[in-house]
């Protein structure tokens, strides 16, 4: 490498260009006291994001994940609750996200420790070991991880097992847990390096998990093993289903739905040919559970699968990058409603494949698609059920443009 240093002459030339460009001077005024995204926002373009849809599935009030990253659990339980509510004639209903989060955290701690044991022969600066240590245990997850927890531990209503401060404000809990897991990783790797037997290592791990279970139970309260399901239907009639286990509830009210679902993605990168499935090693939560797996489809097939499900009256769980081109108060995601290139003078164009390859875009939030607007059979905008409470958008429901969908779903 032969680096070329900046020179005073070049800087002087660029300074003159800046001072001679009225657009840069105007941008300096606008940016001096206002967020760049707000300055770049185009109200004229946003008018196309009206919350009206040619296909719209009626759904219940939005939920609120509060100060946690449990969007995937909220979105997934919001999908399942619609089936339960429809079958029982309920106006309002929520499944317990905390119940699933408790078992996800506990299972993920075990998955982490098993991954540490499995990679103990590698140095700590190995990229796989670094991935495991960096990932640790956090709030986020994938559809198949949700399914793994439900298959093993079942479901319960939220009024049976609700929220605590820690369940809805997870930063401190996660930080403490991950510090402990790193201590556990040190101890496990040391023991393996010193030649401890498999039996000794597993016993050591079980002692660690016993303490982690106690910590999580202190944060969430201990999950119930049996409960009575009490509810009032739309007609004001009281019902009770007594002495259910969480798995009884799951089998009775959900059945085999999870066995009839797959995860699809649209990742137009060279390393992922279409019509094949992909996974990431050491990405999971339940040791011995079903592997996280995604079927990669071209965008036309990807959308058609979603449209087919919506036309059948069923909502769709999905993940996206919500950090791009969003107006939270109005409840809009639309790249056409922002003109950052005009504001900044920078080249900001990236294809979806380039954005994925160069770490610009990534799935960071899960929600539910509950409607779509079609013009001549083609989508123009999509209705989204979010889990950020009901203060923004249309009482917590959002709209995304089809162009935003193409790039960030």
Which residues carry out catalysis? 71, 365, 386
Whole-number Å distance between alpha carbons of 243 and 229: 8
- Tokens coding 275: 């019509």
Residue with the two structure tokens 């209705």: 383
Whole-number Å distance between alpha carbons of 328 and 389: 12
Q: What are the φ and ψ backbone dihedral angles of 6, each rounded to 5 degrees? A: -75, 145
User: Could you give the 3-state DSSP secondary structure of residue 52?
Assistant: coil
Whole-number Å distance between alpha carbons of 97 and 167: 9
Q: What are the φ and ψ backbone dihedral angles of 326, each rounded to 5 degrees? A: -115, 140
Whole-number Å distance between alpha carbons of 336 and 316: 24
Q: Would strands 238-244 and 227-232 be described as parallel, antiparallel, or unpaired?
A: antiparallel
Question: For residue 304, how many C-alpha atoms fall within 13 Å in the half-sphere facing its CB?
Answer: 5
Q: Are the C-beta atoms of 322 and 363 separated by less than 8 Å?
A: no
Selection from 382, 376, 374, 373 nearest residue 409 by Cα:
382
Q: Is 267 exposed, middle or buried (0-12, 13-18, 19+ CB in 10 A)?
A: middle
Within 256-315, residue ranges assigned H as helices are 299-311
Q: Are the C-beta atoms of 54 and 372 separated by less than 8 Å?
A: yes
- Tokens coding 239: 């019902």
Whole-number Å distance between alpha carbons of 278 and 242: 42
Cβ–Cβ contacts within 10 Å for residue 370, how many? 23
Selection from 185, 87, 94 nearest residue 133 by Cα:
185
Distances (CA, A) of 158 to 93, 98, 169, 230, 244: 8, 8, 17, 11, 14
């Amino acid at each position: 490498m032969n680096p070329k240093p900046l020179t005073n002459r070049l800087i002087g030339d660029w300074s003159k260009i800046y001072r001679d460009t009225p657009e840069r001077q105007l941008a300096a005024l606008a940016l001096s006291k206002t967020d760049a995204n707000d300055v770049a926002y185009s109200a004229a373009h946003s008018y196309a994001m009206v919350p009206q849809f040619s296909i719209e599935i009626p759904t219940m009030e939005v939920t609120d994940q509060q100060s946690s990253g449990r969007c995937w659990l909220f979105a997934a339980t919001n999908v399942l609750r619609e089936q339960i509510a429809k079958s029982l004639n309920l106006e309002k209903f929520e499944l317990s996200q905390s119940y699933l989060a408790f078992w996800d955290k506990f299972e993920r701690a075990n998955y982490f420790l098993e991954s540490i044991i499995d990679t103990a022969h590698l140095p700590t600066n190995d990229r796989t070991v670094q991935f495991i240590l960096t990932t640790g245990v956090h709030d986020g997850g994938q559809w198949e991880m949700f399914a793994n927890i439900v298959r093993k531990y079942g479901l319960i209503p939220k009024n049976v097992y609700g929220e605590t401060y820690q369940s809805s404000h997870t930063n401190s809990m996660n930080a403490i847990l991950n510090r402990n897991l790193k201590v556990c990783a040190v101890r496990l790797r040391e023991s393996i390096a010193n030649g401890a037997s498999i039996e000794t290592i597993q016993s050591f791990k079980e002692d660690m998990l016993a303490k982690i279970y106690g910590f999580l139970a202190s944060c969430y309260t201990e999950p119930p093993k049996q409960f009575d399901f009490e509810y009032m239907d739309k007609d004001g009639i009281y019902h009770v289903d007594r002495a259910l286990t969480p798995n009884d509830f799951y089998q009775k009210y959900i059945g085999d739905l999870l066995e009839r679902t797959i995860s699809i993605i649209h990742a137009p990168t060279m390393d992922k040919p279409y019509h094949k499935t992909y996974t990431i090693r050491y990405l999971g939560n339940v040791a011995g559970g079903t592997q996280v797996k995604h079927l990669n489809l071209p965008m036309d097939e990807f959308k058609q699968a979603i449209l087919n499900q919506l036309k059948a009256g069923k909502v769709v769980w999905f993940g996206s990058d919500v950090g791009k081109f969003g107006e939270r108060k109005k409840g809009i995601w639309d790249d056409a409603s922002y003109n950052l290139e005009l504001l900044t003078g920078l080249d900001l164009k990236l294809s979806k494949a380039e954005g994925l390859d160069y770490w610009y875009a990534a799935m960071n939030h899960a929600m539910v698609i509950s409607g779509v607007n079609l013009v001549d059979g083609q989508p123009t905008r999509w209705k989204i059920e979010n889990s950020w409470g009901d203060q923004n958008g249309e009482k917590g429901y959002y709209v995304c443009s089809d162009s935003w969908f193409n790039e960030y779903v």
